[in-house]
Structure 1
Amino acid sequence: MKINGITDIFFDLDHTLWDFDKNSALAFQKIFNTHNIDVDIHDFLKVYEPINLSYWKLYREDQIDKESLRYRRLKESFDAINAIIHDDIINQLAIDYIVSLPTFNHLFDGTFDLLNYLQPHYKMHIITNGFQEAQDKKMEQSKISKYFKTVTNSELAGVKKPNPIIFDYAINKAEADKSKSLMIGDNLEADVLGALNFGMDAICFNYHGLKIDSSIKQVTNLMDLKAFL
Structure 2
Amino acid sequence: MHFKQIIFDIDDTLIDFASTENFALHSLFSAHHWHLTADLQRRYNTYNQGLWRQLERGKITYNQLSEMVFSNFIRDNLNIEIDGNAIMNEYRSYFSETHKLLPGVKNTLDFAKKNGYKLTILSNGETYMQSHRLELAKIKDYFSLIVTSEEAGFSKPDPKIFDYFFGLTEISADETIFFGDGLQSDILGAKNYGFDCIWYNHRHRKNTLNLQPLVEVTTYPQLVKILKTNLSQR
Alignment TM-score, normalising by the size of structure 1: 0.89
The question of 1:43 aligning with 2:39 is answered yes
- Give per-residue Cα distances to partners, 1:172-208, cap 9 Å, x unaligned: 3121121111001111121112112212110011122
Q: What residue number does 1:17 align with?
A: 14
Query: Which SS does the other structure have where 2:6 is aligned?
Result: strand
Distance 2:221 2:80 in 1: 42
The question of 1:74 aligning with 2:70 is answered yes
Specify the code of the residue in structure 2 equivalent to 1:196.
Answer: K
Distance 1:60 1:215 in 2: 19
Asked if the contact 1:149/1:174 (under 8 Å) is kept, the reply is no
Alignment of 1:140-219 (within 5 A): 140-212=135-207, 213=210, 215-216=212-213, 217-219=215-217
Q: What residue number does 1:30 align with?
A: 27
CA-CA distance at 1:158 after TM superposition: 2.2
CA-CA distance at 1:124 after TM superposition: 0.3
Specify the code of the residue in structure 2 equivalent to 1:143.
Answer: K
% identical aligned pairs: 29
Distance 2:74 2:39 in 1: 10
CA-CA distance at 1:76 after TM superposition: 4.2
Extract structure 1 runs of 4+ deviating beyond 4 A.
none
Aligned with residue 85 of structure 1, among 80, 86, 100: 80
The question of 1:220 aligning with 2:218 is answered yes
Specify the code of the residue in structure 2 equivalent to 1:94.
Answer: M
Asked if the contact 1:60/1:160 (under 8 Å) is kept, the reply is yes
Query: Which SS does the other structure have where 1:94 is aligned?
Result: helix
Alignment TM-score, normalising by the size of structure 2: 0.87
Distance 1:77 1:149 in 2: 38
Distance 1:103 1:189 in 2: 26
- Give per-residue Cα distances to partners, 1:79-100, cap 9 Å, x unaligned: 56x4222224x55432210111
Aligned with residue 130 of structure 1, among 114, 125, 128: 125
Asked if the contact 2:26/2:36 (under 8 Å) is kept, the reply is no
Asked if the contact 1:51/1:76 (under 8 Å) is kept, the reply is no
Q: Comparing 61-70 with 169-178, which one deviates more in the overlay?
A: 61-70
- Kindly report the root-mean-square deviation, in angstroms, between the aligned alpha carbons of the 2 structures: 1.9
Asked if the contact 1:39/1:83 (under 8 Å) is kept, the reply is no
Asked if the contact 1:48/1:74 (under 8 Å) is kept, the reply is no
Structure 2 residue ranges without an equivalent (≥5): 228-234
Q: 1:113 to 1:145 in 2, by over 3 A?
A: same
Query: Which SS does the other structure have where 2:88 is aligned?
Result: helix
Distance 2:151 2:87 in 1: 26
Q: 1:74 to 1:214 in 2, by over 3 A?
A: closer
Q: How many residues align?
A: 223
Q: 1:67 to 1:85 in 2, by over 3 A?
A: farther
Q: What residue number does 1:114 align with?
A: 108
Distance 2:225 2:174 in 1: 20
